[in-house]
Structure 1
Amino acid sequence: MSVPALRRAIRRRRPRLVCIDCFDTLLLRGADHEEDRIRRLGAAAETALAAEGLEIPRGAFAATRIAASHAVYRSAARTGIEGRLAQMLTLQCLALGIDPVWATLLENVEIEQEARDLRPNRPLAELLRECRREGVPVVAVSDMYLSGNAIARLLEAAGVADCVDRVYASSDHGTSKRQGDLFRLVLAAEGVPAGECLHAGDCRVADFEIPRSRGVAAVRIPRRLVGAVRALRRLSRRFQGEPAHA
């Protein structure tokens, strides 16, 4: 489905609450592999640390960040508790041999890099503004290691902070859309029954199948071309013997 399809669904269902996914839905990424983005982030982080008098080997940031991310993701899969950026950065500082107090600087560098990499989905943003003007609240719901406050900063940087009333991030609440419990939490916090909420996002499972299984109407807004490019790049990495996770 597309943004026009979402518009039709809103007109037809007249929900009391609209939930929207953030990344690859309201905030759009390119088709880069996650590890390519981390390498760009690494260059910026190494420059920022050097400005504070901390020299780390070239490429060390990217390598330790990838390893820390994998460790946090594995823990989340085992415990069911969503990972947080603070966990990743603390592990990374320890791996780099620097004081974890520098995690705050690294977090700011990461948010600034994300802001440079992301662009707004303007047609969707305008539709969400229309919802709010008509008195329908809009909340952003994201399965993401960034905090809700960090995501709000990215929405502000992209010029779409006025599209949403609140942000719910899995990292803040220890549960996710994919698990289903984040939808339950959002509905309780907003005081809206599942049958009067409409959710939209790009992921088939987390943004379509799971909310529908919880009684929430859902519209999928896939990025088919970007998805195809990412799949091809993962396949290419596999043939080259590199890690293939997205």
Structure 2
Amino acid sequence: MTGLRALALDFGGTLARPGPSTDGRTVAKALRELPGAVVPERFAETFDAVARRMRRADREGSRQTPFPRQLGQTADECHAILPDLVRAWEAVFTAVPDADIDLDAARTLRELHESGWVCVLACDTQRPEIVRRRTLQAAGILDCFEALVLSSVVGVRKPHPAFFAAVAEAAGCLPGEILFVGDTRAKDVVAPIEYGMRAVLVAADRPTNLDPSILVIRHLAELPSQLEALDDR
């Protein structure tokens, strides 16, 4: 591929099937297993209310409120006791299953990695890096990634320019040398292109009003055979 050296891959909907989200009842149940934690009955409803407020604020600024801060705010409001917020964060996302990685997508990733592409995972998530690494390791593809760029770590979400700056730094490439692959038009195609990257959309059908020069594939497994087509776009 002319000028392209690295792939930045989204996770849910691209490499994996979307996984379950957290809700107050699930979080409360996980936290009650922690030594020293005191989790009152109203923790669940308080957590859900805090989460809604923080999601609204995060969307407005493309920020990522750290999940431990969300837990801490909930604990303050309902008088829960959580001795170690980072440990609580890991406990929640150990209890809540991560997304299932698509086997064909995993095979394609390995093929691309072994052919010389620098691969970076680039996704929005509340999960800590240790949990996402565990998921990738279980699927046998952790070694395919040069780095993981997670909104939970960098503190901003796509489409914030700082997220794409972190991707470029992790890949060790200029933006124009990176192909971003994801399933969300605004965050995985429009935003990286505005930052100077190339992009491919993973979608069952081409969305209306999408620039005809954008390559659309139905599944990540189609990417290797379509890469040469990018030279003509």
TM-score range with shorter-chain normalisation? 0.7 to 0.9
Which of the two has greater helix per residue?
1
Name the counterpart of 2:18: 29
What is the number of equivalent residue pairs in this alignment? Answer: 205
**In the alignment, is the contact (CA less than 8 A) between 2:7 and 2:117 conserved in 1?**
yes
The counterpart of 2:29, out of the listed 44, 48, 51, is: 44
- How well do the aligned residues superpose, as a CA RMSD in angstroms? 2.8
Letter in 2 for 1:108: E
Matched-pair identity in %: 24
**In the alignment, is the contact (CA less than 8 A) between 1:194 and 1:215 conserved in 2?**
yes
Cα drift, residue 89 of structure 1: 1.2
Cα drift, residue 17 of structure 1: 0.6
The counterpart of 1:206, out of the listed 181, 187, 191, is: 187
Query: SS of 1:199's equivalent?
Result: strand
Query: SS of 1:28's equivalent?
Result: coil
Name the counterpart of 1:101: 83
The counterpart of 1:129, out of the listed 98, 110, 115, is: 110
Superposition pairs of residues 73-222 of structure 1, within 5 angstroms: 73-77=55-59, 81-114=63-96, 116-222=97-203
Cα drift, residue 52 of structure 1: 5.0
TM-score (norm 1): 0.70
**In the alignment, is the contact (CA less than 8 A) between 2:50 and 2:74 conserved in 1?**
yes
Query: SS of 1:200's equivalent?
Result: strand
With over 3 angstroms needed to count, the CA separation of the structure-2 counterparts of 1:80 and 1:39, relative to structure 1, is: closer
> Counterparts of 2:139 and 2:43 in 1: how far apart (Å)?
26
Letter in 1 for 2:116: G
> Counterparts of 2:51 and 2:160 in 1: how far apart (Å)?
20
Query: SS of 2:23's equivalent?
Result: helix
Cα drift, residue 104 of structure 1: 3.5
Cα drift, residue 196 of structure 1: 1.7
More displaced 10-residue stretch of structure 1: 78-87 or 15-24:
78-87
With over 3 angstroms needed to count, the CA separation of the structure-2 counterparts of 1:184 and 1:70, relative to structure 1, is: same
With over 3 angstroms needed to count, the CA separation of the structure-2 counterparts of 1:143 and 1:179, relative to structure 1, is: same
Name the counterpart of 2:40: 56
Query: SS of 2:13's equivalent?
Result: coil
